[in-house]
Amino acid sequence: MAEGPLVHHYAKQLREVLQGREVRIEFGLRKLKELEPSFEKIRIDKVEAHGKQFRFHFEDQRILLVHLMMWGSWRIYNKSQPWDKPRERARVILHTNSHTAVVFSAPVVKLLTPSELQNNPNWGNLGPDPLRHDFSSKEFLRRLEQHPSKEIGEVLLDQQVIAGVGNILRIEILFRSHVHPRRRIGSLLKKEKAELLRWILKLFETWMKQMSRRNTWIQIYRRNGKPCPQCGTRIQFFRQAGRITYACPRCQGE
Ligand SMILES: [Zn+2]
């Protein structure tokens, strides 16, 4: 499951081989196949991640948006290197003169103009992303406070409030902040919101730094019934916003 830090990690590698380069693109999806002639030789001006989205900006202003959801993955191959995944699962193949970057099984691949992206109700208008230079904590709090009656565990997964938080991050951010996932936004104290913000920034950064190692920073995700690492109480789990979440009933209150 690709949460923000993993998406930024992949984007960095893609940027190294694709940004500023001329590419030839093949699409594995029928709806985009007919556009291939316009991608025979085109420069990628920018490769960026925003939340869980990959965005490739072409010299003609078009933007290729890719979202891995639960199943997609990227590979970067040298020209002579054999692929380790079947070609029929390739959704987009980007060729430079030295490398081939391939996204496999990604359920979301879209070609959009900047205004189409900005106005898209699902993919546009993303909230601030803690791993981008343009992150604004003020903007995050403004978007958070637009949902006073919603539960914090649900709102943290809303990409238009904060981009890049997935299930693991929302659970660990709330645990470290001592805020229960069921708390309504309108009930949060100023100091609790400050703690949330602090742990959001800290855990995104921690995950980025530990990318190649085991995720030793994860404390309660998938640890239902096990003792809380801070107080020894059994970790509970329940369903929220369609996903399983975990909490310590003592540290996070009930
Ligand atoms: Zn506890």
The tens digit of pLDDT for each residue in 221-231 reads 999 999 999 99
Centre of ligand 1 to C-alpha 165, Å, is 22
Q: What is the mean pLDDT of residues 112-138?
A: 96
pLDDT of residue 211: 84
Does residue 96 surpass a pLDDT of 70?
Answer: yes
Centre of ligand 1 to C-alpha 181, Å, is 14
pLDDT of residue 118: 92
Does residue 212 surpass a pLDDT of 90?
Answer: no
Centre of ligand 1 to C-alpha 95, Å, is 50
Centre of ligand 1 to C-alpha 69, Å, is 31
Report the SS3 class of residue 111: strand
Centre of ligand 1 to C-alpha 218, Å, is 14
Centre of ligand 1 to C-alpha 251, Å, is 4
Does residue 5 surpass a pLDDT of 80?
Answer: yes
pTM given for the model: 0.94
Q: In the chain, where does DSSP find H-type helix? A: 4-18, 30-33, 114-119, 137-144, 152-155, 167-177, 190-209
pLDDT of residue 213: 74
Q: What is the mean pLDDT of residues 65-83?
A: 95
Centre of ligand 1 to C-alpha 228, Å, is 5
Confidence of residue 1 (pLDDT cuts 50, 70, 90): low
**Mean pLDDT taken over the chain:** 96
pLDDT of residue 251: 97
Report the SS3 class of residue 191: helix
pLDDT of residue 215: 80
Rounded Cα distance, 225 and 227, in Å: 7
Residue 198, class by beta-carbon neighbours within 10 Å (0-12 exposed, 13-18 middle, 19+ buried)?
A: middle
Confidence of residue 74 (pLDDT cuts 50, 70, 90): very high
Centre of ligand 1 to C-alpha 248, Å, is 5
* Paired tokens of 144: 């958070």
